[in-house]
């Protein structure tokens, strides 16, 4: 996708990329680290195959339901996944997410590109949200 409307970020974690790939693609783990910390009742469903769907839902601090879902476009374990991402009410997130997991010898560099963000505000907001999610992933790694 040749698109300049994307947010991009990297993050390193001190575990092999096979573990990161598993945490990103397994429903029980995804429900634990992906939703914001103020959420409750998180659950995830994953059909891990090309063309398969995933959905993550949670109750926000105000008591409302939030969800992100998408379709897997490419799965190349343990180094890459590409998927669509849509918010439950269809705003803010529409686009394609590419996650690259680079093996650094026991450490993994996670690279994310989120395409389809048409404004600078949307790109900045999504970059911030991904950074928060990556920090939650790091925190989750310390308790599993």
Q: Encode pLDDT of 19-73 as tens digits.
A: 999 999 999 999 999 998 889 999 999 999 999 999 999 999 999 999 999 999 9
Give backbone dihedrals phi and psi of 53, rounded to 5 degrees, phi first.
-105, 155
Q: What is the pTM of this model?
A: 0.91
Mean per-residue pLDDT, 87-105: 82
What are 38's two structure tokens? 């103020």
Domain 6-141, second-level architecture:
2-Layer Sandwich (3.30)
- Residues forming a β-bridge with 10: 111
Please answer whether residues 83 and 72 qualify as being in contact, where contact means their C-beta atoms are separated by less than 8 angstroms.
yes
């Amino acid at each position: 996708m040749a698109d300049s409307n994307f947010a991009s970020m990297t993050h390193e974690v001190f575990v092999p990329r096979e573990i990161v790939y598993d945490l990103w693609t397994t429903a029980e783990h995804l429900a634990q680290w992906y939703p914001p910390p103020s959420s409750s009742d998180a659950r995830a469903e994953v059909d891990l195959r090309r063309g398969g769907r995933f959905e993550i839902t949670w109750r926000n601090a105000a008591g409302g339901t939030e969800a992100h879902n998408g379709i897997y476009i490419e799965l190349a374990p343990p180094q890459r996944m590409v998927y669509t991402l849509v918010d439950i009410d269809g705003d803010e997130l529409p686009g394609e997410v590419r996650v690259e997991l680079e093996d650094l010898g026991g450490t993994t560099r996670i690279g994310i590109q989120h395409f389809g963000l048409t404004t600078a505000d949307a790109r900045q907001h999504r970059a911030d949200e991904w950074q928060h999610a990556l920090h939650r992933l790091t925190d989750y790694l310390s308790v599993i």
